[in-house]
Chains A and B, each alone.
Chain A
């Protein structure tokens, strides 16, 4: 069965960076795109980025341009999302989510990773 398993919760200080992983299993890793979506406490969902696991090409929401980097390791079927220059407004649950390669709705989601930014 399809599974997306994310790394554990993180606590970071303002100005630091965080790197969250998402390990995929149960399907051909390179056949589906992977996205990152975040949700601040009590708030809605916000799309951040996508990666084409085959080519490694990425696309980022303008809001996060220059601050987010998404990479993948095809040998371990894992996608990574690194967010830098953290502020308290980056406190959120970060989800990875899978889509097909041409219609970007999300049929499987990771369990979420809580990132807390606090001094």
Chain B
């Protein structure tokens, strides 16, 4: 089973700042099959990024990068609605595991 470790656990930033979230895998993720999701309290997760592509209607301030075992989600300029919990997920090997999440909070 591929274990995904996200860091930091909590990130405190202000609107307008740049956010960099990390996801490290315990072994190489096949074909860079890594996705990122955003989850707000009481809501289902929302797909942001799969591979190097943005999901439908996701603003271009969100971008994903990385390969092998190290992946990054970057939010170029934080908007108030971006403060949430973010999860990475690998879909290269079953079981299709998630990271433990990074909480992005307003500073």
B95 at the interface (CB under 8 A from A): yes
Which residues from A are CB-within-8-Å of B100?
Answer: 44
B95 touches A47 (CB 8 A): yes
A103 touches B98 (CB 8 A): no
Across the two chains, which residue of chain A brings its CB closest to B85?
A44
Q: Is the interface of B mostly helix, strand, loop or mixed?
A: loop
Contact pick for B91, options A44, A45, A105, A112, CB 8 Å: A105
Stretch of B13-21, B43-51, B65-73, B74-82 that contacts chain A: B43-51
- Residues 25-61 of chain A, each 1 if its beta carbon lies under 8 Å from chain B, else 0: 0000000000100000000111100000000000101
- Alpha-carbon gap, A45 to B94, bound state (A): 15
B55 at the interface (CB under 8 A from A): yes
- Residues 29-55 of chain B, each 1 if its beta carbon lies under 8 Å from chain A, else 0: 000010101000000111100100001
- Alpha-carbon gap, A103 to B98, bound state (A): 15
B95 touches A104 (CB 8 A): no
- Alpha-carbon gap, A103 to B50, bound state (A): 9
- Alpha-carbon gap, A111 to B35, bound state (A): 20
Within 8 A of A (CB), among B89-107: 89, 91, 94-101
- Residues 74-114 of chain A, each 1 if its beta carbon lies under 8 Å from chain B, else 0: 00000000000000000000010101000111110111100
Nearest first, the 7 closest Cβ-Cβ pairs linking A and B are: A109-B44, A105-B35, A104-B91, A61-B95, A45-B98, A105-B50, A47-B96
A-B contact pairs, 20 of them (CB 8 A): A35-B96, A44-B100, A44-B101, A47-B89, A61-B95, A62-B95, A63-B95, A95-B45, A97-B44, A99-B91, A103-B33, A103-B91, A104-B33, A105-B35, A105-B50, A105-B89, A105-B91, A106-B45, A107-B50, A109-B45
